[in-house]
Amino acid sequence: MEIVFAGFGGQGVLTAGLITAEMALENGKNVTWMPAYGPTMRGGKAYSVVKYADGIIGGPDMEEIDILVAMNEPSLEYAAYLKEGGLIIANTNNVSEDAPIDSKFRVIRIPCLTLAQKAQNPKAANIVAIGAMIKACGLFPEEQAKAVLRQIFVDKGKEKYTAMNEAAFMEGYQAV
C-alpha cells in the first residue's frame, strides 16, 4: 500500500502520514514514512509518503500510489504517479470543484477544513482526511485507528487534544 499526503506546509501532511504509519505498524505491517518539504516552514510544497506491506518495502519515495490525499490543488500533480483505479481524496476547501482529474481515478471530495471546524478543531483538517481515507478504503478497523490516534498524542504529551482529534476523525469517517 502506497499513500501520499500532499499539500502546503502547515496543513499537517507530514503528521497525517505519521499517524497512518503508526496505524499500519499497529496492524503488524512493515512500514516506511518519508517526508519531503522545501526550506520554508509554512506555505511551501510538502508531502509525505507512507508505504506498508507484509514483506520487504522498496524505495521510500513515491512510485506507484494507491491513495493520494490532496490537501490543495497543486498536489494533484502527483496523480501522475497514481495507479490506474487509484483513489484521490480531494480537500475541497483548497481544491476547486472543477479542478481537472483524469476519469481513470476514483475521487472523493470532502471539505476537510469545514468538517474540522465543525469538530471545533480547525487544525485537524489532516485528521478529517485520514478518517475519510480509512472509511473509504477499509484500511484499518475503526476502533484500532482511534486507539492509535489517541496514543500518538498521549505520547507527545498532548492528551488534552484527544477528544477533539477523535471528533475530527469521526467527521471524516462519517462523511464518506
Partner 1 sequence: MRKMWKGNHAIAEAAMRAGCQFYAGYPITPQTEVSEYLSYRMPELGRRFLQAENEMAAVYMIFGAYACGMRSMTSSSGPGFSLKQEGIAYLCANNYPAVLVNVQRWGPGLGTLDSSQTDYLRDTRGGGNGDYRVIVYAPNSIQETVDLMYNAFDVAEKYRNPVEILSEAALGQMMEPVEFPPFKERTEDLGWTFDGTDRPHGRIDNPQKPDALRAKVAAITANEQRWENYRVEDADYVFVAFGLPSRTCRNAVDQLREQGVKVGLIRPITVWPFPYKAFEEIPDTVKGVISVESTDAGQLIEDVALAVKKMCPGNVPVYGLFSGQKIPKTKEIVAFFGGVRSGETKEVF
Nearer to partner 1, 28 or 100 (CB): 28
Nearer to partner 1, 10 or 60 (CB): 60
CB of 118 to partner 1, least distance (A): 30
Residues of this chain that interact with partner 1 (CB under 8 A) are: 18, 21-22, 25, 30-35, 39, 56-61, 63-64
Nearer to partner 1, 120 or 158 (CB): 158
CB of 152 to partner 1, least distance (A): 10
CB of 135 to partner 1, least distance (A): 24
Nearer to partner 1, 26 or 73 (CB): 26
CB of 61 to partner 1, least distance (A): 5
At 166, list the grid cell. Answer: 477523535
